[in-house]
Amino acid sequence: MTTTFTSTTYASRGMRHRRPRRSIVPFLAQLVIWTGAAGVLALWWSDTTSVIGPAGWLTGAGRITGLLAGYACAVLLALMARIPLLDHTVGTDRLARWHALGGRCTISLTLAHTLLIIWGYSLTSHTNVVSQTSTLVLHYPDLLKGTAGFLLFLATGVLSARAARRKISYETWHYLHFATYLAIFLTYGHQLSNGADFVGNRLAQAAWYTLFLGVAALVAWHRFAVPLRRGLRHRLRVTAVHPEAPGVVSVHLGGEHLDELGGEPGQFLRWRFLARGLWWTANPYSLSAPAQTGRLRITVKTAGGHSGALARLAPGTRVWAEGPYGGFTAHRRTAPKVLLLAGGVGITPLRALFETLPGQVTLIYRARRPEDLALRGEIDAIAAHRRAAVHYIVDEPAGYSSPLTASGLSSLVPDLAAHDVYLCGPPGMAEAAISALREAGVPGRRIHHESFAF
């Protein structure tokens, strides 16, 4: 039997629920992406008079896959350009899933393009595949660079596979992805100089330049210029570091004009601490309390070198913050009742939402041991103030465990299917919770989950 500590359950008073409008931005974003893909296919169709024989079919298929691969590269960069409209409505983790799926498609298209073009050209010139490959790489304009970019794409794809991803740190994986910019730069030129759809077609060339220069401008502005401007504007510094639980600390930050950041409960920022060993990477951490005038707070669990070093930060350390990011906010809510389901340090965004979400809110907080329940004092105070339910569930001491199942959740929240659910926790816990919630009758559209696995 799981140990459970429960506050009295009442609807919060003085807080009104207002049904939000469902955003159409995710639909429009996908519509734009697919419309662009259709336009790319139209470019091939308009420039193709006839297809004759196996060589013609192979070369034509190679042209199609090459055009789609080039277009997909631009889409991948746009998805990860951290455009606020997309980030706040679609959600960062959902964009990351689109990006991951698009990445696999791009690698497949690029590989298919390479093999089909070599095979088609070898049939046309009546040479073997090895000889044709050598001719293309060494004698066609920009194809030596294109080959280097292709190999870099493959290497990035292999390292992004789930099995490989588990074996490298977040920081290493993050910086390896910058190699994608170099790969795109190396492969971009050969399409314009060798592609049958672009040579002599100024309109197609102008469209391709507009696409890639536009995406490059979005990336340069949102991923580099905006963080730089905000770093100079807000002048964030560490004001204090407080322990919250074993291996968990809260980092308090102060700065100037922080009201301009617009951070909402549930969102995160990417934090770059200008201290030895930390300045070179920016890691995502959620706000663990609503932003206040001149003050922010994050709560972090030691999970690697970067997060472990935060416990040793000295007051006065300069900080650069990118964001806020994510759509894990009150805007996703569609029902009057809400369940917040946290696992471990996943409590951080949910603690901020627990304080601010209107209406009837229930919090279930799972941890390994009672001492691992970070921020418990604050949570109890919030629950008492708004007269909301809190269930603390721990798996130890031995004999006091409880599986994360539909029946277990329904016993704590009897009308579970009528709730919106905000879920944050380790990947294994999140997967089990989603399965249990669906089994309990909660529609998928009401399960709101945002992870940092990107």
What is the C-alpha R_g of the chain? 26
pLDDT band at 163 (very low <50, low <70, confident <90, very high): low
* 9: pLDDT strictly greater than 50: no
Mean pLDDT of 200-214: 89
pLDDT digits (tens, 9 = 90+) for 350-400: 999 999 998 899 999 999 888 999 999 999 999 999 999 999 998 876 555
Distance CA 117, CA 106 (A): 16
Q: Which of 71, 74, 90 is nearest to 30 (CA)?
A: 90
- Amino acid identity of residue 30, one-letter, is Q
Alpha-carbon span 345 to 244, nearest angstrom: 11
First and final C-alpha spacing in the chain:
35
Same domain flag for 349 and 443: yes
Q: If we measure between CA atoms, which residue out of 187, 157, 185, 186 comes closest to residue 173? A: 157
Q: Are residues 57 and 174 in the same domain?
A: yes
Number of alpha carbons in the 13 Å side-chain half-sphere of residue 376: 19
- Residue 70 in any domain: the answer is yes
320 vs 142: which has the higher pLDDT: 320
Give tens-digit pLDDT for 110-143.
999 989 989 998 998 888 888 888 888 887 877 8
CA quadruple 178, 183, 189, 190: dihedral, nearest 10: -170
User: Is residue 259 within 8 Å of residue 293, measured between CB atoms?
Assistant: yes
Q: Which two tokens stand for residue 389?
A: 């339910």
Same domain, 298 and 176: no
- Residue 1's pLDDT is what? 37
Same domain, 308 and 381: no
- Helices and strands in the chain: count of H runs, count of E runs: 16, 12
Predicted local confidence at residue 389, as pLDDT: 92
Residue 361 lies in a domain: yes
Q: Is 363 part of any domain?
A: yes
In this structure, the chain runs to a length of 454
Q: Which residue has the higher pLDDT, 41 or 14?
A: 41
Asked whether residue 342 falls in the same domain as residue 307, the answer is no
Mean pLDDT of the chain: 84
Q: Most confidently modeled of 235-239, 256-260, 304-308?
A: 235-239
- 224 contact partners, CB below 8 Å, separation of at least 6: none
Q: What is the pLDDT of residue 173?
A: 67
Position 273 scores a pLDDT of 92
Which of 230, 257, 282 is the last residue in one of the domains?
230
The predicted model scores a pTM of 0.76
Q: How confident is the model at residue 14 (pLDDT cuts 50, 70, 90)?
A: very low
Q: Please name the residue that has the structure tokens 């890639």.
A: 212
Q: What's the pLDDT score for residue 171? A: 63
**Whether pLDDT at 20 is above 60:** no
Amino acid 452: pLDDT: 57
Do 139 and 253 share a domain, yes or no?
Answer: no
What band does 53 get if pLDDT is binned at 50, 70 and 90? confident
CATH number at residue 14: 3.40.50.80
Is 146 inside a domain boundary?
yes
Instruction: Classify 322 as helix, strand or coil.
Output: strand
pLDDT band at 164 (very low <50, low <70, confident <90, very high): low
Both tokens of 284, joined, read 């995502």
Mark whether 366 and 427 lie in a shared domain. Answer: yes
Classified as helix, coil or strand, 88 is helix
191 and 293 fall within a common domain:
no
CA 378 to each of CA 250, 375, 385: distance values in angstroms, whole numbers, following the listed order: 13, 5, 11
Sequence-distant (≥ 6) Cβ neighbours of residue 342 within 8 angstroms:
350, 351, 363, 364, 365, 366, 424, 425
Stretch (H or E) spanning 245: strand 236-245
pLDDT category of residue 74 using cuts at 50, 70 and 90? very high
What does the pLDDT read at residue 361?
94
Is 454 a member of any domain? no
Confirm if 400 and 4 have CB atoms less than 8 A apart.
Answer: no
Does some domain include residue 147?
A: yes
Q: Which residue has the higher pLDDT, 357 or 450?
A: 357
Q: 420 vs 191, which has greater pLDDT?
A: 420
Secondary structure (3-state) at 377 = helix
- Is pLDDT of 401 > 70? no
Domain check: are 213 and 316 in the same one?
A: no
> Domain count of the chain?
3
Look up the CATH number of the domain holding residue 290: 2.40.30.10
pLDDT one-digit tens code per residue, 54-72: 888 998 899 899 999 999 9
Residue 310 lies inside a defined structural domain of this protein: yes
Specify whether the CB–CB gap between 187 and 146 falls below 8 A. Answer: yes
pLDDT (0 to 100) of residue 375: 93
- Tell me the percentage of the chain whose pLDDT exceeds 70: 89
Same domain? For 71 and 185 the reply is yes
Task: Provide the pLDDT for residue 38.
Answer: 94
DSSP letter assigned to residue 9: P
pLDDT at res. 174: 67
**Closest CA relative to residue 430, chosen from 362, 349, 341:** 341
**What integer is the mean pLDDT of 440-444?**
91
pLDDT band with cut points at 50, 70 and 90 for residue 240: very high
The number of CA neighbours under 13 Å toward the Cβ of 234 is: 27
**Is 90 exceeded by the pLDDT of residue 342?**
yes
pLDDT at 267 over 80: yes
Distance CA 167, CA 387 (A): 44
Helix (H, G, I), strand (E, B) or coil at 90: coil
- Looking at residue 115, what is its pLDDT? 92
Alpha-carbon torsion (187, 188, 193, 195), positive or negative:
positive
Instruction: From 304, 325, 346, give the residue that closes a domain.
Output: 325
Residues linked to residue 447 through DSSP beta bridges, in sequence order: 421
d(CA 196, CA 244): 62
For the segment 303-320, the average pLDDT, to the nearest whole number, is 84
Task: Identify the band that residue 244 occupies on the pLDDT scale cut at 50, 70 and 90.
Answer: very high
| Domain span holding position 222 | 25-230
Tell me, yes or no, whether 216 and 278 share the same domain.
Answer: no
Q: Which of 230, 259, 278 is the last residue of a domain?
A: 230
Residues 54 and 11 in one domain: no
pLDDT for 155: 80
Query: Quick check: 91 and 326 in contact, CB under 8 A?
Result: yes
